[in-house]
Amino acid sequence: MTNPPLRGIISYPVTPFDRATGEVDLAALSRLTEDLVSAGSHAVAPLGSTGESAYLREAEWDAVCATTLQTVAARVPTLVGVSHWSTEGTIRRARVAARHGATAIMVLPQVYWKLTPAELEQHYAAVAAATDLPLMLYNNPGTSGVDLRPETVAALARKIPNLTMVKESSGDVTRFRSLRELSDGALSVYNGNNPLALEAFRSGAVGWCTAAPCLAPQRVLELYAAVTRGEDARAEAVLAELLPFLRFIVGQGLPRAVKAGLRLQGRDAGHPRTPLLPLPDRERERLRQMLERLARAPLADGSAVGRAQPTA
């Protein structure tokens, strides 16, 4: 396998909106991005589904891309989600990301009509050719309605040289190994299914793409550290602590859950953009309790987590 430009914990920020106006809050975005870098994230990935990319106007998308990458300032790699309904729109976003210094781009087949194999190949090839950046194919049938199986992905990668990474979020842990084997190790594979974090690393994933560090960065980073040190028992213990929280934020919808958690921690990111609605009070209380439990659990060095402690 070639040395991937991304590995470890790849953190996905939400896109904050001003609570009064509903407009993108770039100052809050910069603070959240700085928090993710300062906490020790190995990479930052704006404008995925967590970042409500599909609900942004193009000028807003550009501003979020620019602000995030300027805040990161090349201290860690950046992965920008450039998906759009059209190939033309995806290419435009890819070029904006490249102009602002992105390390790599991520493309979900965000479509209304189910694409044929020829259409998928054309779409990914055209986007890949638009920049020199490495491209991550994002397979998330739960949000896109398209399931790109390992055989399809490997075939695309053989035809598109800079398609070198895959974010696999189907929930099928066998695919991590299949993707590596079918590509003869040429594809770097990343986990996008939070509850499968440990199984994915054990099956050859080189990174975990997750919004969880927005709320519980040190716990997520500790899991990865335990994996890299070969401390299986510790990794399993940390995952057991995280699992209720990980399942909750995915089950409730990442923008809803993460924004509710940020407000609990005194870092308001506003409401999600309609048609999404804020997390209901009952679920918000459940999240508060989960964050309190995570904050009370000591890290491997015996220190308290700190950041995960809700303030209200």
Catalytically active residues, by annotation: 138, 167
What is the total residue count of the chain?
312
In the numeric block, which tokens belong to residue 6?
A: 């991304």
d(CA 212, CA 82): 21
In the numeric block, which tokens belong to residue 103?
A: 């390390």
Q: Is 38 exposed, middle or buried (0-12, 13-18, 19+ CB in 10 A)?
A: exposed
Where do runs of H (alpha helix) occur along the chain? 26-39, 58-72, 87-99, 117-130, 141-144, 150-159, 174-182, 197-202, 217-228, 232-252, 254-264, 281-296
In the numeric block, which tokens belong to residue 36?
A: 């993710």
